[in-house]
Every structure is written in C-alpha cells, then in structure tokens.
Amino acid sequence: MKNALIKKIQDKSAVIGIVGLGYVGLPLMLRFAEVGYKVLGFDIDKSKVDALNEGRSYIEHIGAASIAEARSRGFEATTDFSRAPEADTLILCVPTPLNKYREPDLSFVLDTMDSLVPYLREGHLVSLESTTYPGTTDEELLPRIESRGFKVGENAFLVYSPEREDPGNPNFTTRTIPKVCGGYSPACQEIGVALYSAVIDKVVPVSSTRAAEMTKLLENIHRAVNIGLVNEMKIVADKMGIDIHEVIRAAATKPFGFVPYYPGPDLGGHCIPIDPFYLTWKAREYGVNTRFIELAGEVNAAMPDYVVSKIAAALNTRKKAINGSKILVLGIAYKKNVDDMRESPSVMLMEKLRDLDAEIAYSDPHVPVFPKMREHRFDLSSVPLSVSTLAEYDCVLLATDHDKFDYALIRANAQLIVDSRGKYLEPMDNIIKA
C-alpha cells in the first residue's frame, strides 16, 4: 500500500486534499496545482469556498489570477467533508490559537480530524501542518485514525510537517522554503517525503513527528526570545537617551556572531506570539519550568503598555490627556505590507487607547475595512491620509510601517507622531520614538 501511494504521488495521479484554505493552505494548494496535481480543498467557511470556486481570492498577496489558474487545472473547494475519500492525502492547515488562559486550543485540529474520521479510507495519508506541542500528532491524531480499525504505517499513514509561511515576503515561496517532515513510522516518513518533495525544492526529514513538532516551536521561540531581548534593550536605551535602532544598525555591521532583531509594540502574526506557550504548557507535564521563554513572553506582552505610556507622556507635554484625544493608528496588520491581522499588536493598542477614552481611527492601505475578528471589534474603515486629515489628529501612532505610507507627508503634517517602529531616523520636535 505504501508503494502504491508513492507511485500515485510520483506520477501525479494522486488527489491532494488540503483542509483549511487560509494563509497556509491556500499557497500550498496553488503549489500542488501548479505542478499538475488535482487538488480538493476543504474549509468550513462557505464564503471562502464560494470565492475560490468563482476564481476570487480573499488574501491580498494571492491574486485572483492564481486562483483562476488553479481552477483551470482542476482545483475545487468544498465544505463537504464526506468527499474526503476522493483525496489520497489530507493535509491539515487549521489554526492553533491560545485560549483565554494562554493554554493551547486544539479545538480546530481536533474538530477537523473528528469531521474527517468517518470518511477515512485505506491508503490515506494524513499530514498535520498546524503548529502545536510535541506529541499532538501521536497522542491526538493517531488514535483517531486507528479508531477506524486502520494500522498506521501499514494501511494508513501519518506525518507532521510544520508550515513555514512568511506572508507577503517575495524572497521566499512555498516552493523554496525547506520543508521539515517527521513520520510516525519509516513508511509514513517515506510517503511524507515523497509527497512534499514533489512540490518543495528541499525536504528535511527528521526522526519522528515529535522532533518535527519541536523544530517548529524552536524556530519561533528563537525569534520570540530575541525580540524580547531587543524590546528590553529598547526600554533601557530609551531611559539612557540612546536610539536603539541606531545601535542595532551599528551592531549589524559585525559580520559574525550577531543577528539583528528589531523592537516593536509587541509580537504579531499566527506563530510567534502563540507558539512559545504551546511548549511551556507541555513542558509542565514533564516537570520543567521554561523560565527563559516565559520571561521573554512577559517582556513582549508588556510592550503595548509601554507604547501607551509614551503616547500619554507625549500628549502630556502638549497639555493634553489620552482621554478625549483623537488618535490615528497607522497600520493595523501584524507586519508591514500585508493584510494579515492575526494577533496584530496594533489592535491591542487600539483597544487600550479606546479603554482610556481616546477617539480612535486608523489608516491602513492593506485593510480598507476593519475585519470581523473572534476577540476584537471595531466598526471602522481606513482613513485616507492627506494634509487635512493628518492635521485633525492630536496624535498619530505609527504601529505598522507599511511601505505604501507617505512618511514625508505624515512627518510634515501630523501634530505629533509616536513612532513604535523606528521609521523616522532624524529627530524632530513632533516625533517621539516608542
């Protein structure tokens, strides 16, 4: 059965099922379709399914032309999980957020798997790509698959291959980003490597699903810890009257032993603010206290309050309070040049300022209307930037430094700018660095 599935993958007769058609699943679908596979996409959001089947995209950096091309190659999206037997592989690309207690929320993974279990058949390969703690694939997915009477490694197959996406980054694509893959058994590993090797330039096999799960966590914990370090350095440097961005630029000239990380108003995106807590939660099961990771989390989580304090101090010098002030937030995506709002620190800042009775507006060329979010609600649309609109606000907060912003226009016409991204290099009376 293993050899038969590998042969179907190699001759491109395998049907690729992708479950979850968001920032991870959609680029993966496009790549499989591009090389000649028939792809069947599953999602519980009917509006997404309808958009894709009509050749439309709902992600800014993925054009409608790419969706239309995939459709011409046989791609189809559906909300009907009973069609899972049509696919030979089922690749799960669903969210893994935290709950309100900052504990792993596997409900999307488990609910998705439970929806698929009745329709699993012999020969299926299940691949989990969602970031999670070591043991999830073996402890949660394996027993669900085997509840149908299958023997994983013999007549059903299971791998973990963590997503590595950087939305909006033109220098790295699904094809060129190396893909880590760990199988439950050697047979599972062999099939997983065959599957991803068909569409990814370099596949990196590891010894187990747990090693693959830990790899993904290490990648993002590495970033979270170093960002926590540089955020702490920013606060120290600010107290000393030193520009931390100048220091980072100078340190980055060292050709060895230093990697530049940049401070900001907090962590954002679907990985870095969340993934470290998946490991700290699981580590407690083994009696390990991950103090280093948790300390970095505390530092990063405190950054929105630091930025708000800088806004309050800056307004105070102009004999104004946050209460009643009109504040324009520039950029509400979690990083520049994308429309991705997941875990955006800008939204946290907007909520904190609103709670202090500021009058909040935002401008973001990538997010024309504030989207519906699970935990955050604003009935706002993006404000176009002009000489007159900028002058209306008591404070302009640069939260996400999109390239599309006219920074000279902003500098010349804003009464007060609080720059949390280090965009403005030259000191000016109306610019406060935060």
Which residues are catalytically annotated?
Answer: 271
Return the structure tokens found at 300.
């990063």
Q: Tokens 């520049």 — which residue?
A: 336
Q: Tokens 């050749």 — which residue?
A: 55
Residues listed for the chain: 434
Give the phi and the psi of residue 7 in degrees, each rounded to 5. -65, -40
Please give the Cα distance from 294 to 300 (Å, whole number). Answer: 10
Angle between helix 244-251 and 209-239 (nearest 10):
120
CB 174 within 8 A of CB 28: yes
Please give the Cα distance from 279 to 32 (Å, whole number). Answer: 31
> Residue 396 belongs to what H/E stretch?
strand 395-398
Return the structure tokens found at 426.
């030259």
**Strand-strand pairing, 157-160 and 179-183:** antiparallel
Please give the Cα distance from 101 to 4 (Å, whole number). Answer: 45
Return the structure tokens found at 203.
């596949």
Q: Tokens 């390239």 — which residue?
A: 403
Got the DSSP string for 358-385? -EEEEE-TT-SBPPP-SS-----BPPPP
Please give the Cα distance from 185 to 192 (Å, whole number). Answer: 10
